[in-house]
Each structure stands twice: as structure tokens, then as C-alpha cells.
Amino acid sequence: MLPKDPYEGELSPSPVGYIVYGADGRLMSFNDRVGELFPGLLANDMVGKTRDEVRDMLRAYEPAAVDALNQLDEILVLSAEDGVFEFGKGRFCSLDDLPLPDGGTLTLIRDLSEKKRQLDSIARLERATSELANEEAIYSGTKDRAYLIMTEVAAKALVATRADVWLMNVDGTALYPQESYWAPTDEHMELERLEKETSPALFDKLASGEPINVPDVTIVDFLKGVRSGDGRERDVKSILIVPIMRGPRVVGAIAVAEEKYQRRWRQSEVAFVSYLCDLILRMLEAHDRRVAEEGLRDFNEMLEMQVKKRTKDLEDAMETLQLAQEELVRSEKMASLGGLVAGVAHEINTPLGVALTSITHMAEVFTGFKRSVDSGKIKKSDLMNFMETADEGTTVVRRNLERAAHLIRSFKMVAVDQSADDTREIDVGDYIDEIVESLVPTLRKEGVKVAAEAEPRLVMNTVPGDLSHILTNLIMNGALHGFSDRPDRADKEIRVKAQARDKEVQIEVTDNGRGIPSDIREKIFEPFFTTARGAGGSGLGLNIVYNTVYHKLGGSIRVDDAEGGGTRFTITLPLEHRKAA
């Protein structure tokens, strides 16, 4: 039985623990919450003890709190500004000493364990989001590696027992396991497929497209009879299942489960698993695109063999070849644009993922703050904590959204130009910066740095899409081929420089790579000439650049050795666009 409260129960309803010390420094009473936090106070007759005596007795009865109690001995007047003290694993509290009118002291004890767990959870999810944003396997479509990494990261970030990825067949009658990671044993398990015929209720739930949050699997019916091949399903206490949606259609699901205890999955955790579902869709799209590109390369190799056999018919086919070449220019532009989309999507993924996690956390904090306001028990410290959290959260969201908006603006400018043949006036320096910015995500994978400089207020009237296509091809050609002899070197660099020459603009694209041997330099602009035939090269990239410069923009292009080693392409274009005859 707790000692009688001298303040007639005024503080008893408070969820905050408190201890009352008299003017003589001896303990007078404490409420039930303190007894819950420190059972040693209930196991001993603490009334009449000094604060030092109370702490000494708690050290004996609660060894897990010894370190925190030792820290408190060094503080004369306790304040929440002293920070949070860990009274045992997973139990965090702040303490405040408030003077009482009779000369005594009221020590308030606030249990911040749940808040600490939430903050730790947010930090884990942010680290996981950043880790996945830089995982090449997801964006290259390497399915096995992507599934393995995503399930491991998910289980560790959510502190879950297991994480599974499932894909649904076309007619929606079965779910096929792709990967299942079991955290306790660090194993990737083999599972059996799930049939709609044996688990119709689960498939109906998935069809709604909404996350399935089950804190206690024993009280739901739609999971009865569900088997996944290991026999350990009976140990699962709670589960979260998020459908993978492609438009209105369910194409799979991600499931995370807990075997040790029942838990309601937080909104931030549901949002994180939904983010994983989006990554899987992107990975599947990248995989399909890679398969298509491999088929296209095979087709190009077959086409080259046919061209060799039909050399004698080339004169009759010149008109057809010219038409095909124009089509290849358009295809090359769209292929370049497709790579640009993938690169920018990869780059935008990180700031948007961080912003989503932060805004989800802010929503949870706001809900808790509103609950305090509605209850009428709002305190200044609650308001200050809410304002601090809101300020930090909005700063993170704003910074990351500004980064994403900048990337989108650069991408929009270059993408629109590459899909159109309109003539307009541009600032050469600004436009080159936009092109370089859009290529940074792709170039980062190759470890190549690009620097651009131009005379101020250098304005020309041209076809921006063609200029973008030319510079993109030259920069990527240098990045992919200029350093192939030493792909791991750390100083790979490409420089783009633009300056006025009378009524013309001269643009130089220079790399510090291995250079182009003199015996093939004169052939690089010829159609179908390539030194990377076995690696999928078609030999049309620089030929298209050459024809675009001469025939579409009325300029010229030459190639020579750069000072200090490497290759330099020099393009000369009229300030006022004129179509070459």
C-alpha cells in the first residue's frame, strides 16, 4: 500500500510519476506510476528516507538502474534539460525537481521509453531508405540480388522476425514466393506457393489494395489455413501485409511478421513497406527493360551480318537507309531520354523517401499532441517538444523536397527539348548546366565527374533538343569508352567549355581518358563503326552526332588529342540557326 498522499490526490490521475520530499529532504509519498517504474520502492519502506538513502536502496534492488542513479548523484537539482536517463534496457526517463510552498520538493518522473523507441524506429527507417536508394540491383533489374537485399533491410529496419516477398500470377490464382528472410537465424528460406483455392479470404483482402495490419493473428479468420512451407506459421503473433499494386491490379505482396509478441505496426512502418512495394515495381520494370535491350542488341548483331551479305545492294538501298537513319536518330533520342528518366528517378528517390518518412513521423507527433490538447492536460514541455519536432521535421521535408524539385526542373527542360525539334533562343551556359545536371545520376555510377563552363550571357538561336542530344552522346561516349582501360581510376573527368567565335559558338568536350588511337580516329564518325561490337555497340552513336551537327544545325565537328592525354571534340555552331543544304 502506498503512503497517504498529503496533497489529497490532486496529482494521482497524472500519468507522470512523482515523489514528494518534505522540507527536511525525506521522502513523504509517491504515486502508483513511480511504483510501476521502480518496483523497489514498493518492496521497501521508503517513507522517511532521504534521497540518498532511497537511491542506495534502489541500487540494491534494481541493478539495471545503477548507472543512471550514479549519474543522478552528480546533479544537485534535477531538470529535464539534463537529458534522458536509462534505468535498464529500454526504459528511459527524464526527471524534474519542483519546489513546493512548504519547502519540500516534488520530483516528476516522465517515462520517455515509447518516444525513444519511436525515434529509434524513424532513424532505422531513414537509414534503410537511404541504403535502398543506393542499391544498384534495384535500378538495374537484378531480381535475385534485389529481393535478397530488400528482405534483409526490411526485417532489420522494422525489427521483425521475418520478411517475405511474393508475386502473383497473371490470373490472380496463386502467390509465388520470391524471397523469405528469417532474422533470428539469418537464413533465406524456401517457401511453397499460396493458392487462392485454399486461402480465398486472404486473396480477397489483398484485392482491396489496402495494407493488412494484424496485431494479433489469433483473432482474424482470413489467415486460417495459410501455409508457407516451413511449419513455423503457428509461432507468428502479428503480421503486416502490403499489396504490390500496378494500377488497380495486385501483382504481389510484401509481408513482415513478428513471432515473439503482438504488435500494431505503426503508420511509419506501413509507409516504409509501401515504399518497398514501389521499389519492387521499379525493379521489375528495369528488369523487363533490360531483357528488351538485350533482345535489341541481338537483333542489331543479326542486322550487321545481313548488311555484310548484301553490300552489293547498298546503292539501291541508299534512299531507304537515309529514312532508316532519321528513324534511328529519333530512337536514339528516346533511348537517351529513357536512361535520363531512370537516372533522375533514382536520384529523386532518396529525398522523397526521407521527406515521406519525416512527414509520417510529424503526423504521429501531431496526433499525440492533439490528444494531449483534447484531454486538457497540455503542459508547456509538451508544447515545446511539439514545436521542436515540427521545426526539425519541416526543415527536413523542405530541404529534401527542394532538392527533388530542382532535379525535376532540370529533367523537365532537357526531356521536353529532346522530344521536340523546335528552334528557340537559349543561354548556352545555363543550358549546358541543365544537361550536365540531368546526367549526374548516370555518370555517378561510372565514377565520372563533369565540369562545365561558358562565357556569361552567351545566347544563341538553335534547336535545343539536337544540342542536348549531341552533348549527351559525347559525354556518355567519353564516360563509357574513354576510361575502359582503367575503370577503377579515381580522377575520371569530362569538361565542357563554350565560347563565342565571331558569329559562331565553339563548344569543346574534353576527357582525360585513354584517348583515341590515330589509326581509327578518321573512322569514328562512319556508320556502323565500333570498337565495342561484342559489348553491344552499334556504331551509330557518333555517326548520328556527326549528321546532326552538319545536316541539322549547319555546323562542324572535329576530334583530336587533348592536352595532357585524352580526347577533345570541338563543335562549331552558328549563333543563328541555319539549316544546312
- What digits encode the pLDDT tens for the residues 232-242? 544 688 999 99
pTM: 0.43
In words, the CATH class of domain 17-111 is: alpha beta
CA-based torsion, 252, 258, 263, 269: positive or negative:
negative
Q: In this structure, which CATH number among 3.40.630.30, 3.30.450.40, 3.40.309.10, 3.30.830.10 belongs to the domain 117-292?
A: 3.30.450.40
Band (217; pLDDT cuts 50, 70, 90): confident
Residues 6+ apart with CB under 8 A from 106: 18, 19, 20, 21, 97, 98, 99, 100
- For the chain, the farthest-separated pair of C-alpha atoms sits apart, in whole angstroms, at 112
State the Cα–Cα distance between residues 531 and 481, nearest whole angstrom: 9
Q: Above 90 in pLDDT, residue 535? A: no
Residue 69 or 531, more confident: 69
Q: Above 70 in pLDDT, residue 558? A: yes
pLDDT given for residue 564 in this prediction:
82
pLDDT given for residue 244 in this prediction:
93
State the Cα–Cα distance between residues 222 and 242, nearest whole angstrom: 15
Q: According to the per-residue pLDDT averaged within each range, which of 33-42, 109-118, 264-273, 434-443 is highest?
A: 264-273
| Phi (first) and psi of residue 528, to 5 degrees | 70, 10
pLDDT given for residue 44 in this prediction:
75
pLDDT given for residue 101 in this prediction:
92
Average of pLDDT values for 337-361? 63
pLDDT given for residue 354 in this prediction:
60
Q: Give the model confidence (pLDDT) of 485-506 as tens digits.
A: 787 888 889 999 999 988 899 9
Band (572; pLDDT cuts 50, 70, 90): very high
Residues 6+ apart with CB under 8 A from 234: none
Band (407; pLDDT cuts 50, 70, 90): low
Q: Above 70 in pLDDT, residue 19? A: yes
Residue boundaries of the structural domains of the chain:
17-111, 117-292, 317-362+390-574
Average of pLDDT values for 271-281? 90
pLDDT given for residue 220 in this prediction:
86
**513 torsion bin: left (phi>0), alpha (psi -120 to 50), beta (else):** beta
Q: What is the mean pLDDT of the chain?
A: 80
> Do 580 and 548 contact (CB within 8 A), yes or no?
no
Query: 297: how many CB neighbours lie within 10 A of its CB?
Result: 14
Which range (164-173, 180-189, 390-399) has the least confidence?
390-399
Query: 481: how many CB neighbours lie within 10 A of its CB?
Result: 20
Residue 303 or 54, more confident: 54
Q: Which residues are paired to 570 by β-bridges?
A: 508, 558
Q: Above 80 in pLDDT, residue 339? A: no
pLDDT given for residue 178 in this prediction:
92
CA Rg value for the chain: 33
- What cell numbers appear for 522 in the block? 578518321
Topology of domain 317-362+390-574, per CATH? Answer: Heat Shock Protein 90 (3.30.565)
Q: Check for a shared fold between 17-111 and 317-362+390-574.
A: no
Which range (196-200, 386-390, 447-451, 515-519) has the least confidence?
386-390
pLDDT given for residue 10 in this prediction:
43
Task: Report H helices in 380-463.
Answer: 380-418, 428-446
